[in-house]
């Protein structure tokens, strides 16, 4: 989706408050994942997951901003067609699919309203702004570094986001701390 600040200019990010960072335009989630969505670290970690789960090279994994949060994942096949998993912005369905795969469980409309394309309206996409979202490049670099670097990035992010929630650091300091931890860990690889 691009998170809470997808439409903000980079210059405004220096003044972000915790309250602003935990207000997502599409999703109702906990503070940590909502802040990860705002920084796009959630997508960076998903890139690492996709690499390990599906054996896909980092050069073949792309992050795109999809403001409506209807498409949860897309896979381009060898013939260039794209298979996508779509649903309302509610993680229960993708989680159910993962838990029951390869079966498809029946659901009631009361439990999961069907995706109505006439109500979903437009599906739009844009490339992420790398200056606004440095977490992406940091996640790709951690993945390519291999070894324990992805674990260090994830642990650093857990701590730095909590420090931001506790108002001990600024929003922009989250990625600065994450990067510093990864840089310090290079000597240990």
Return the pLDDT at 75: 93
Return the pLDDT at 111: 80
Those residues whose C-beta lies under 8 Å from the C-beta of residue 74, and which sit 6 or more positions away, are 82, 83, 84, 85
Considering the entire predicted model, what is its pTM? 0.90
CA distances to 91, 119, 157 from 113, in Å: 13, 12, 34
Whole-angstrom Cα distance, residue 138 to residue 92?
29
In 3D space, the residue among 22, 16, 169 whose CA is nearest the CA of residue 156 turns out to be: 169
Give tens-digit pLDDT for 100-146.
Answer: 999 988 888 888 888 898 988 889 999 999 999 999 999 999 999 99
Return the pLDDT at 168: 98
Residues in the chain predicted with pLDDT less than 50, given as ranges, are: none
């Amino acid at each position: 989706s691009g998170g809470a600040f997808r439409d903000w200019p980079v210059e405004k990010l220096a003044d972000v408050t915790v309250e602003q960072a935990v207000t997502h335009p599409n999703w109702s989630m906990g503070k940590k994942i909502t802040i990860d969505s705002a920084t796009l670290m959630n997508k960076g970690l998903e890139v690492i997951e996709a690499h390990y789960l599906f054996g896909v090279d980092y050069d073949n994994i792309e992050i795109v901003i999809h403001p409506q949060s209807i498409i949860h994942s897309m896979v381009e096949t060898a013939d260039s067609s794209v298979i996508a998993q779509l649903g309302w912005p509610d993680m229960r369905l993708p989680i159910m699919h993962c838990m029951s795969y390869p079966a498809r469980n029946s659901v009631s409309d009361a439990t999961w309203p069907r995706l109505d394309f006439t109500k979903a309206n437009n599906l739009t996409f844009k490339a992420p702004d790398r200056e606004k979202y440095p977490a992406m490049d940091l996640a790709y670099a951690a993945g390519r570094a291999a070894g324990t670097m992805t674990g260090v990035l994830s642990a650093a992010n857990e701590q730095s986001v909590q420090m931001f929630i506790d108002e001990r650091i600024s929003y922009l300091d989250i990625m600065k701390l994450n990067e510093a931890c990864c840089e310090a860990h290079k000597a240990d690889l």
